[in-house]
């Protein structure tokens, strides 16, 4: 079992989690209406587990000529400053978990980090989740056109395995 703690203060961010051997496939229900009218995707990682995202994920974003996911689990995004699109060159091996496995985090109040899509947080503006000590530790994505995941930044958290 592994617990993730804030690198800045040592506070536990998660309870004990079990590591998965690979990143699960993202559910195909992004943006599709559910019976209750919501459009949030099913969580990529089940409660009580975590996985490492091997691909670049999150900010910073750089221009590209091809329309592809801005980062795994995200939509194709047009570059507002150019003719092309944007793609992540963010860190690899972010820790991906079910958002409910880190209930003690709080949303950043900075409007630029807190940028959202039409139904939730799109995650393109950088880390939007803080430890109670104030340190930025991860990015929640929960918009209707993204996966439903919490990504903890490798440099902002430490893992403790028993």
Residue 120 has pLDDT above 70, yes or no: yes
Q: Which long-range contacts (CB under 8 A, 24 or more apart) does 106-115 make?
A: 106/130, 106/132, 107/140, 108/136
Q: Which residues pair with 52 in a beta bridge?
A: 95
Structure confidence by residue, pLDDT tens digits, 136-157: 999 999 888 889 999 999 999 9
Residue 116 or 142, more confident: 142
Higher pLDDT, 135 or 83: 135
């Amino acid at each position: 079992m592994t617990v993730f703690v804030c690198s800045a203060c040592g506070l536990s961010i998660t309870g004990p989690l079990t590591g998965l051997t690979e990143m699960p496939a993202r559910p195909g229900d992004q943006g599709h209406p559910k019976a209750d009218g919501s459009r949030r995707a099913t969580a990529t990682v089940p409660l009580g587990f975590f996985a490492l995202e091997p691909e670049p994920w999150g900010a910073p974003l750089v221009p590209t000529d091809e329309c592809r996911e801005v980062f795994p689990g995200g939509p194709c995004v047009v570059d507002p400053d150019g003719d092309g699109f944007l793609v992540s060159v963010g860190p690899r091996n972010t820790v991906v978990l079910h958002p409910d496995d880190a209930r003690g985090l709080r949303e950043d109040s900075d409007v630029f980090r807190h940028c959202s899509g039409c139904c939730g947080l799109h995650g393109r503006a950088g880390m939007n989740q803080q430890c109670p000590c104030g340190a930025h530790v991860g990015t929640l994505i929960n918009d209707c056109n993204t996966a439903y995941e919490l990504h903890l930044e490798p440099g902002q958290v430490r893992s403790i395995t028993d």
